[in-house]
């Protein structure tokens, strides 16, 4: 059972999200909060697997609450999935930098929302296609890479795996494409997370684009 917390300042939104999330029986909503401050307290009290987090809320916004969750060693296993009506670049980038494992817009289909919760709970990262496109365009349009790169110490095979992660491939798909066993693919991804000091796959995706290993349209 996936334990889910809802943090959104609109009561009607929370009331609608609860039955949608719990519909298939494998997700349980363990609590709700109406702002980031209460949301952070809720998460510390219940330690859910996933938090559905709004961005714009009174007292403390979702970005700051996400930072608080990520910075707390006691909440190391908690994953934040940002769900908002706002897709402005500043919010997308701030959520990723704060450590959110996923970013979805509220026009997502109910089945896709449940699938996103499962994906994030399993330890993977998720950005909606529209959000991914915005992030990667901004990364590529940003300043050129420096003379030194954190990728310099990677082996050729590790670079291949990182490029595959950047293209959005799952561990199973990476294994098939690179002729690895699924266990070996998982090991490579775990090693990349540690060596590059990346919190999750979303951070690896950004690194793959920033380094030029992956370009828009190469997926």
Give the pLDDT band of residue 50 (cuts 50, 70, 90): very high
Chain-centre distance for alpha carbon 66: 11
Domain 2-137 architecture: 3-Layer(aba) Sandwich (3.40)
pLDDT digits (tens, 9 = 90+) for 139-194: 555 555 554 677 888 899 999 999 998 887 888 889 999 999 999 999 999 999 88
Give the pLDDT band of residue 88 (cuts 50, 70, 90): low
**Is-contact 66 80, C-beta < 8 A?**
yes
Percent of residues in the chain assigned helix, strand, coil, to nearest 5: 50, 15, 35
The pLDDT assigned to 86 comes to 67
Give the pLDDT band of residue 218 (cuts 50, 70, 90): low
Q: How far apart are CA 151 and CA 211, in angstroms?
A: 8
Tokens of 168: 């959005």
Query: E strands of the chain, at which residues?
Result: 2-7, 27-33, 50-53, 79-84, 102-105, 126-127
| Cα distances (Å, whole numbers) of residue 214 to 140, 149, 156, 204, 208 | 10, 15, 15, 11, 6
Q: CA angle at residue 107 from 16 to 112, to 5 degrees?
A: 80
* Domain-wise residue ranges, the chain: 2-137, 146-210
**Protein fold of 146-210:** Arc Repressor Mutant, subunit A (1.10.10)
């Amino acid at each position: 059972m996936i334990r889910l917390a809802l943090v959104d300042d609109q009561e009607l939104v929370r009331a609608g999200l609860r039955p949608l999330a719990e519909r298939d029986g494998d997700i349980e909503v363990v609590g709700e909060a109406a702002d980031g401050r209460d949301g952070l307290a809720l998460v510390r009290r219940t330690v859910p697997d996933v938090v559905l987090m709004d961005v714009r809320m009174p007292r403390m916004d979702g970005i700051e609450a996400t930072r608080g969750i990520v910075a707390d060693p006691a909440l190391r296993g908690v994953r934040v999935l940002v769900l908002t009506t706002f897709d402005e670049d500043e919010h997308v980038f701030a959520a990723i930098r704060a450590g959110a494992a996923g970013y979805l817009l509220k026009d997502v289909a109910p089945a896709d929302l449940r699938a996103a919760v499962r994906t994030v709970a399993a330890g993977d990262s998720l950005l909606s296609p529209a959000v991914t496109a915005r992030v990667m365009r901004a990364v590529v349009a940003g300043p050129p890479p420096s003379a030194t790169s954190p990728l310099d110490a990677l082996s050729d095979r590790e670079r291949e795996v990182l490029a595959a992660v950047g293209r959005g491939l799952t561990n199973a798909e990476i294994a098939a494409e690179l002729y690895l066993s699924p266990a070996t693919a998982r090991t490579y991804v775990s090693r990349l997370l540690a060596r590059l000091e990346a919190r999750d796959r979303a951070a690896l995706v950004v690194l793959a684009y920033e380094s030029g290993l992956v370009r828009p349209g190469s997926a």
